[in-house]
Amino acid sequence: MALPLLIALFAAPVLASDISAPQPLDIETIEDFSVYEKAIIHQLDNSNTYEEITPDQRSRALTLMAEIKAIIDRSGSIAALPPLPRVDVFNRQEELNQILAKAEEDSRVICRRERPTGSKLPINKCMTLAERRKTREGGKQYLREIIPAEGPLDQSGM
């Protein structure tokens, strides 16, 4: 009875590690790039972690992973990379990490208690960081368009 439970407890982290958000890519500590690549692709396709990634950023991230994989495959393994290709992989890794970190940060959901206009009852309003930024910028743009359209205020008092 205890054996299946024990096996389930130890197997759960292994199964979850395949789909959890991977740590930033670091070729110095990763042994098998293909496992990392599969995890990133899974996160891009099936989760909210990178929900706010733009199509251009997604395309660039996939291109960078393909380039890294090609460089590693030419050498056989990460450990066997000569110094110049190692620098190329490092530069691509840094760009990939920046794209993914920015997309992950923009996908973070923030909830606030707000009172709708005309109500005294506060409600929870949850939006991603990117949605909040778009809403704020939209409001600013609206004000920029409406204020000049009304013309300058008469300062003479008449």
- pLDDT by residue for the chain (158 residues), tens only, comes to 443 333 333 343 333 434 444 566 666 666 677 888 888 888 888 767 777 788 898 899 999 999 988 988 888 877 788 888 888 888 998 898 888 888 777 777 778 888 888 988 988 888 877 788 888 888 788 778 877 666 555 566 55
Are residues 111 and 131 in contact, defined by beta-carbon separation less than 8 angstroms?
A: no
Residue 143 class from Cβ within 10 Å (0-12 exposed, 13-18 middle, 19+ buried)?
Answer: exposed
Contacts 24+ apart (CB under 8 A), 47-53: 47/19, 47/21, 48/107, 48/109, 49/21, 49/104, 49/107, 50/100, 50/103, 50/104, 50/107, 51/107, 51/128, 52/103, 52/106, 52/107, 52/128, 52/129, 52/130, 53/99, 53/100, 53/103, 53/106, 53/107
Query: Which pTM was predicted?
Result: 0.57
The domain spans of the chain are 22-107, 110-150
**19/32 Cα distance (integer angstroms):** 16
Angstrom CA distances, 84 to 80, 87, 91, 95, stand at 12, 5, 11, 17
